[in-house]
């Protein structure tokens, strides 16, 4: 019996190490979305109007229950739609078990159009394949049919935050602050304030927004030290931040003009925010309820603006309206801010891409052949091809996969086996 004609066997019997079931993620997301406010844009959407029309023809013992019923239905559906988009785009990496190990699934193969029952899959966390009889993707999807899907625990909080932020941004809704605090739970660890004394021989334990931006703009510890309050005589705690930021803007602009600065204050602030979103720079702050200082989760830096007021504060802008600060008086781990960060590869313009020649077929084949000899798996080869030929246009995943398979035949290497490389890849 072929692999296409029957589901795979030999699945791992236990929990994925460091993983959480997709079904549990879905239930949590539905719970969070269920707490969000239904905006005007929501109510004017075709989905909400359709659900309202259906509910209007239903009998309710209490007529006042009709509106909550529609709202709950709509928000659950919105959560399912967000999860489907995350899986289809590959934004949410998923894993499943095979022959005693867990492998990451290729979203292009498993979650493409007409390849899966999206509604059932996200609700149950069990993958259901469609159109497997045609065998367009080989045995992969047929073998994954009815497999339990997993998400890495370290991935889920960040992605959950991004899905919430996307909904807030797209339809102008908000997640109540009390729900945000509930989500943080006991993970919001209390930490003490660092001493305010300056020490240019070693980094401070925690830096203010102005010190962190000063470092990113100059890499000059003496300049960082000059952002502390005692260098601003006559200012009060209330206006110190505005004065410090204005002077910082002017100083960095002057340095840039003189050729000794690295970036402007706004550019450094954007870079700092991005680092906090990924968790590479950790921060503390005072929550909106004016409690004790605590860690600010990386999730809270997503979909917000980092303002210079009140010692550095985080605000969401929803439907053009500025929300009150969720965190203020921010402090950033100095060792994180000072840690060297790899410069991102600049995005090529359309004109640059058009002017790049396509990589030579023989060169690409030779590179893939060498990587196979070195023992690279297929996912490493697919991801590494573009960086190996930076001056050329490199074909996409399907072409490289076919080339990889051809090279392995010529090298008399075994075909890619299940569980060794990215599933579906």
Angle between helices 378-388 and 361-374 (to 10 degrees): 140
pLDDT score, position 6 = 40
Considering the chain, what is the average pLDDT of its residues? Answer: 77
Query: Which of the four pLDDT bands, split at 50, 70 and 90, describes residue 179?
Result: low
Please give the backbone phi and psi of residue 259, each rounded to the nearest 5 degrees, phi first.
85, 10
pLDDT tens-digit map of 319-364: 666 777 888 889 999 888 988 654 444 444 444 444 667 777 777 8
- Residues 255 and 302: beta-carbon distance below 8 Å: no
Query: How many CB atoms within 10 Å of residue 336?
Result: 18
pLDDT tens-digit map of 50-109: 998 898 888 888 878 888 888 888 999 999 999 999 898 888 899 888 666 788 888 888
Prediction pTM value: 0.47
Cα separation, 27 vs 314, whole angstroms: 28
Query: Which of the four pLDDT bands, split at 50, 70 and 90, describes residue 213?
Result: very high
Residues 205, 209, 212, 218, CA torsion sign: negative
pLDDT score, position 318 = 63
- Residues 123 and 26: beta-carbon distance below 8 Å: yes
Strand, helix or coil for residue 93: coil
Strand, helix or coil for residue 357: coil
Cα separation, 336 vs 315, whole angstroms: 23
pLDDT of 414 > 70? The answer is: yes
Strand, helix or coil for residue 95: strand
pLDDT tens-digit map of 127-175: 888 887 665 666 677 778 888 899 998 888 888 888 887 787 777 766 6
SS (H, E, C) 139-193: CHHHHHCCCECEEECCCHHHHHHHHHHHHHHHHCCCCCHHHHHHHHHHHCCECCC
Rounded mean pLDDT of 390-409? 80
Cross-strand partners of 252: none
The length of the chain, given as a count of residues: 425
Burial 356-372 (b: 16+ CB within 10 A, else e): eeebeeeebbebbbebb
If 0-12 CB within 10 Å is exposed, 13-18 middle and 19+ buried, where does residue 345 land? exposed
User: What DSSP string describes 252-264?
Assistant: HHHHHHHT--SS-
pLDDT tens-digit map of 306-319: 888 777 888 876 66
């Amino acid at each position: 019996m072929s692999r296409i004609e029957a589901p795979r066997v030999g699945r791992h019997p236990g929990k994925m190490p460091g993983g959480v079931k997709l079904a549990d993620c879905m239930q949590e997301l539905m719970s969070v979305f269920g707490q969000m406010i239904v905006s005007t844009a929501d109510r004017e959407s075709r989905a909400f109007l359709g659900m309202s029309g259906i509910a209007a023809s239903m009998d309710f013992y209490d007529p006042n229950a009709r509106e909550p019923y529609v709202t709950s239905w709509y928000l659950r559906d919105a959560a399912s739609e967000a999860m489907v988009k995350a899986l289809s785009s590959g934004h949410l990496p998923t894993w499943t078990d095979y022959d005693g190990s867990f492998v990451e699934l290729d979203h292009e193969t498993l979650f493409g159009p007409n390849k899966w029952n999206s509604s059932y899959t996200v609700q149950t966390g069990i993958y259901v394949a469609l159109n497997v009889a045609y065998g367009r993707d080989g045995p992969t999807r047929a073998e994954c049919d009815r497999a339990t899907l997993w998400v890495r625990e370290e991935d889920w909080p960040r992605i959950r935050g991004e899905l919430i932020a996307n909904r807030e941004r797209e339809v102008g809704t908000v997640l109540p602050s009390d729900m945000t605090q509930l989500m943080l739970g006991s993970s919001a660890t209390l930490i003490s304030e660092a001493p305010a004394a300056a020490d240019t021989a070693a980094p401070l334990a925690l830096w203010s927004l102005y010190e962190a931006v000063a470092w990113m703009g100059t890499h000059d510890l003496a300049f960082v030290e000059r952002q502390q309050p005692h260098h601003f005589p006559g200012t009060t705690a209330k206006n110190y931040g505005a004065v410090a930021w204005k002077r910082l803007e002017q100083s960095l602009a002057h340095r840039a003009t003189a050729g000794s600065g690295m970036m402007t204050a706004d550019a450094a602030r954007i870079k700092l925010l991005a680092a906090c979103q990924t968790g590479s720079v950790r921060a503390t702050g005072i929550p909106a309820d004016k409690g004790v200082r605590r860690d600010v989760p990386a999730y809270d830096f997503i979909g917000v603006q980092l303002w210079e007021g009140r010692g550095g504060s985080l605000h969401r802008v929803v439907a053009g309206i500025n929300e009150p600060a969720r965190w203020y008086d921010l402090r950033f781990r100095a060792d994180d801010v000072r840690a060297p960060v790899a410069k991102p590869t600049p995005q090529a313009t359309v004109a640059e891409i058009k002017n790049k020649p396509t990589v030579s077929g023989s060169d690409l084949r030779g590179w893939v052949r060498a990587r196979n000899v070195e023992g690279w798996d297929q996912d490493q080869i697919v991801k590494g091809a573009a960086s190996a030929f930076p001056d050329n246009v490199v074909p996409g995943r399907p072409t490289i996969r076919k080339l990889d398979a051809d090279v392995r035949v010529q090298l008399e290497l075994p075909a890619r086996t299940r569980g060794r490389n990215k599933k579906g890849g």
